[in-house]
A and B are shown apart, each in its own frame.
Chain A
Amino acid sequence: MHIVFALVVVAAFGLFAWNAWRLILELRMGRLDDSRWSDVGARLGNLLSIGIFQKKIFRDSVAGPMHAAIFWGFCVLTAGTIEFLVAGVFPSFSFAKVLPGVLYRFYTINQDVWGALVLLAVSFALFRRITKRVKRLMGAETHPNDPLLILSWIGALMITMFGDQAMAMVANPEPGIGLLRPISAVIAALSSVVVSPSAALTLERLFWVSHGLLVLSFLNYLPYSKHLHVVVSLPNVYLSNTSGPGQVGVMSAMDLEGDLEVFGAKDVEQLSWKSLLDGFACTECGRCTSVCPANITGKPLSPRKIMVNVRERLEEKSAAAGIGLIGRSAGGTAVTTAGATTARALLDTYITEDELWACTSCRACVTECPVSIDQLSVINELRRNLVLGESRFPEEILPAFESMEQKGSPWAFDPADRAKWADGMDIPTMAELHGRGEKPDVLYWVGCMGSFDDRAKKTTVAFAKIMKAAGVRFAILAQEEKCHGDPARRMGNEYLYQMLAKDAVGVLNTYAVTKVVTACPHCFHQMGNEFPQWGGHFDVIHHSTFIEELLAAGKVPLRADLHEPVSKFTYHDSCYLGRYNEVYDAPREALKRALPVMELVEMPRSRDRGMCCGAGGGRMFMEEHVAEGGKRINAERAEEALATGATTIAVACPFCMTMLADSVKARDADVTVLDIAEVVAGRLAV
């Protein structure tokens, strides 16, 4: 009997190991030049907080505790499974023989308690899935029967575990055993009324065998299921590309000089192995899709679908290449003829252009994912292929590309007008200071919107006034400032981006610039986090932080009168300031310091849950096609802001300003949209 069991265990683990090796081969189909060995400390920190302590899982207050109970229960019960398997082969084995009494009792009690918690949690999960139509759990791309099967499987594992323990107690009552496994003991006491000790012995064997078979088959079902996530999640969290400091949301630098066959990614082979691992780690929970501004407003994009598609396509391709999971290579669910797989690709066959262009690059999906999947990097790589490889993109962005190249700004303004906002303000240019042998404290990088857009220019002037009032010695580049190409990069045009970014870095380095302040979060992110790729190492500060520091140091002369009526403000987080750079408090503090009588009300979606205005990722330059029943992203956000009852919506980004101001105006609401700088400048005592 034990020999048979031993053979079954070896066979089951052998099968699992074989498939695990197959999965590694599948991952190796991807690009391997994406090293994840650095930043061990930060990665371990993520593993602990996001993985072990389930930090992101708890962002959902209902599913959070439920999942945590199952996860922690699994960790605890794995010890019991090891004891179970070893004892199956060597019947005399028990942890009681290797652990001191107190520890052993701690172990057994935990087995019982967590077993019960897991059973409760999976019952609730099943109940929730079957009776409540939780929106984020639904979607055409999901496999709705898989979770029902898996949850039942886990439930059965718990029931057979308790059955085995309880029947053993009925068959062979030992004094004091109830203290070791209190819940099993209660079940034993209740069932001993109807079950005789001899029948219990048979039942115990039955539960034991079923439990063993369930454990081993569960293990081997995982590679075929979305619940592969059980195995892959923790490694995925450790390896996530959000580990290194300053690495959040940074796009990879393409080597455009190299002899590339394919630009960006058209299929799974051109994606990083880590993106493929992301596909394995996805368990289709839908948290990403539920926070996606495009998805919420009825656009065709679902970040979850992107990941499901990556895995599906990888399974199809690996099966055709003969390295798929056992049973898949022989046909299985995948298309296996070579012709069919070459005509098919991740791009177009699985993921359409419209999905890709709907993305605002707001990082809500990446931030929300409990296992640190990076949906955005897949979208970015596919966009690169569309633009660089095939010149396929919405025609509205052609003028933006051409204008960036010709005029150094995505809008076709005359470059000669770049510093027109500064007429009469007596602001020196870098060239002038350089000519006098002087250096400013800080370079004010105005940005294209701040230079040319009529509304944004008011913010530019307001911020310049604050700096002047505070005695900051600053300069601008005037006509020497040109777009750094970030919009081009976000829209997949890495070629144009690199041209512009290298030029901009060159200009800044010519003047030996060290410190830069900008009112645009996109410039802030690009110059601070992505310029190092081109040898541009600058201390870049967003104007909200800069203003807050000036205010905190008492350097900004503000009016003393506080007899103004209390006004109600709400603050809209910009994605590139918030989720990309974790600047949440500075703009809020700046508002409070400038307006002590103000009441700041938060929108339901704020800080790292903040909802995008709809302009990021190059969406600013594209038509927003609103489907039946859908709406504009800025409408969704403006409605949320207006619902707070605030009379002023404060923003810290010229793109957000345009989107929200447009939508507020369209609603005829008597609400003003102001930049942080305008609020503070309005209180200047000059």
Chain B
Amino acid sequence: MKIAVCIKRVPDQDVRFKIAAGGKAVDEAGLKFDMSDFDGYAAEVAIQLTEKAGAGEVTVVSVGPDAVQETLRKALSMGAHRAVQLKHDTPVHDGYAIASALAAELKEGAYDLILTGRMAVDTQNRSVGAQLAELLDRPYIGAITKLDVEGGMVKARRELEGAFELVECTLPAVLSIDEGIARARYPSLKGIMAAKKKPMDVRPAQLGAQRYTLESLELPPERTGGRIIGEGPDAVPELVRLLKEEAKIL
């Protein structure tokens, strides 16, 4: 079975971001980058499928500047077999453009399965997987938490609010992977060494027309510290006044 996994390089999320000059991008100074979490689960699912079958090939694909090679290399050290960088040096925010670039690459190669993460943890647009399926004219199941592939059929489980949904489709298909399905493995040193020798192709990204542009980025207002205005019933009138006049919520 041939599986392609689309992965995105994203900044570590547990830090306080700063906005870069120009107000349209995050200041990348001091940021650490890694594979988007859901893409990591997708890579793990793909690797497990080939390990279980004892055959098959996992190709990881990413759109972006040369820095994405580091992220692709991590997927190779986890156990993916080959990588493709669709090179584009400026940030792309339009999911349709990215899906077009991926579709141009993945329409060839006879991939049985194409996996994406449920969403990129930085931009959270959730649009690439479905658009990619549409461009390739393949069935799509989104945000799956359990997967069986047998006899040319995909059986997937999706988690809804208070219910499970079981969905089937035929191969080839595009699936997006939710959390809970598998933990991305920690690459062993053996894997890291092996990854250095695995093929990494670089091709220009054939982005489709970009239909929207990012206008500006803003940080939420800093939280100000709490204030104690008094105790007991005596403090109530002052509290009401402040809620009306300062916070303007009453």
Contact = CB atoms under 8 A, between A and B. Distances in A.
Contacts of B15: 407, 414-416
A398 interface: yes
Given A395-B183, A398-B183, A415-B30, A406 B188 contact: no
25 contacts: A256-B189, A263-B190, A387-B188, A387-B189, A388-B188, A388-B189, A388-B190, A389-B188, A390-B188, A390-B190, A391-B185, A393-B186, A395-B183, A398-B183, A398-B186, A406-B32, A406-B34, A407-B15, A407-B32, A414-B14, A414-B15, A414-B16, A416-B15, A416-B30, A479-B30
Interface in B180-232: 183, 185-193
B12 interface: yes
A391 B14 contact: no
A401 B190 contact: no
A338 interface: no
Contacts of A389: 188-190
A496 to B, nearest CB: 9
Nearest to A395: B183
Contacts of A388: 188-190
Nearest to B78: A391
A72 interface: no
A25 interface: no
A391 B192 CA distance: 11
Q: Looking at A388, A395, A401, A414, which has the most chain B CB atoms within 10 Å of its CB?
A: A388
Given A388-B188, A416-B30, 7 more contacts: A387-B189, A388-B189, A389-B188, A391-B187, A402-B34, A405-B32, A416-B16
B189 A412 contact: no
A407 to B, nearest CB: 7
Interface string A388-427: 1111010100100110011100001011100000000000
Contact of A406 (B12, B187, B192): B12
Given A395-B183, A406-B34, A415-B30, A495 B189 contact: yes
Nearest to A398: B186
A380 to B, nearest CB: 15
B16 A391 contact: no
Q: Looking at A391, A393, A415, A494, which has the most chain B CB atoms within 10 Å of its CB?
A: A391
* A-B residue pairs, 4 tightest by C-beta: A388-B189, A391-B188, A406-B32, A414-B15
Contacts of B192: 495
Nearest to A388: B189
B44 to A, nearest CB: 12
A651 B132 CA distance: 59
A479 B187 CA distance: 28
A500 to B, nearest CB: 13
Interface residues of A, number: 23
Interface string B156-187: 00000000000000000000000000010111
A547 B60 CA distance: 55
Contacts of A398: 183, 186
A401 B192 CA distance: 15
Contacts of B186: 391, 393, 398, 401-402
A416 B30 CA distance: 9
Contacts of A393: 186
Given A395-B183, A406-B32, A263 B189 contact: yes
Contacts of B190: 263, 388-390
A393 B34 CA distance: 21
Interface string A478-496: 0100000000000000110
A263 B16 CA distance: 38
B26 to A, nearest CB: 14
A62 to B, nearest CB: 47
B122 to A, nearest CB: 14
Contacts of A414: 14-16
Nearest to A494: B189
A401 B188 CA distance: 12
Contact of A412 (B14, B183, B191, B193): B14
A412 B187 CA distance: 20
Given A395-B183, A415-B30, A407 B189 contact: no
Q: Looking at B32, B188, B192, which has the most chain A CB atoms within 10 Å of its CB?
A: B188
B80 to A, nearest CB: 15
Nearest to A263: B189
Contacts of A407: 12, 14-15, 32
A415 B16 CA distance: 10
Contacts of A395: 183
B213 to A, nearest CB: 30
A636 to B, nearest CB: 31
A388 B191 CA distance: 9
Nearest to B12: A406
B189 to A, nearest CB: 4
B215 to A, nearest CB: 27
A412 B12 CA distance: 10
Interface in A449-496: 479, 494-495
Nearest to B186: A391
Contacts of B188: 263, 387-391
Contact of A391 (B30, B32, B34, B191): B191
Interface string B120-153: 0000000000000000000000000000000000
A265 to B, nearest CB: 14
A390 B190 CA distance: 8
A516 to B, nearest CB: 24
Contacts of B16: 414, 416
A402 B187 CA distance: 11
A414 B189 CA distance: 27
A406 B35 CA distance: 12
A390 B192 CA distance: 11
A495 B191 CA distance: 12
A256 B14 CA distance: 31
Contacts of B32: 405-407
Interface in B23-50: 30, 32, 34
Nearest to B79: A391
Contacts of A401: 186
A227 to B, nearest CB: 40
B182 to A, nearest CB: 12
A389 B187 CA distance: 9
Nearest to A384: B189
A402 B184 CA distance: 12
Nearest to B188: A391
Contacts of A415: 15, 30
Interface in A254-289: 256, 260, 263
Contacts of A391: 185-188, 191
A340 B190 CA distance: 25
A407 B33 CA distance: 10
A398 B78 CA distance: 14
B133 to A, nearest CB: 31
Interface string B1-33: 000000000001011100000000000001010
A652 B12 CA distance: 34
A390 B191 CA distance: 9
Nearest to B14: A412
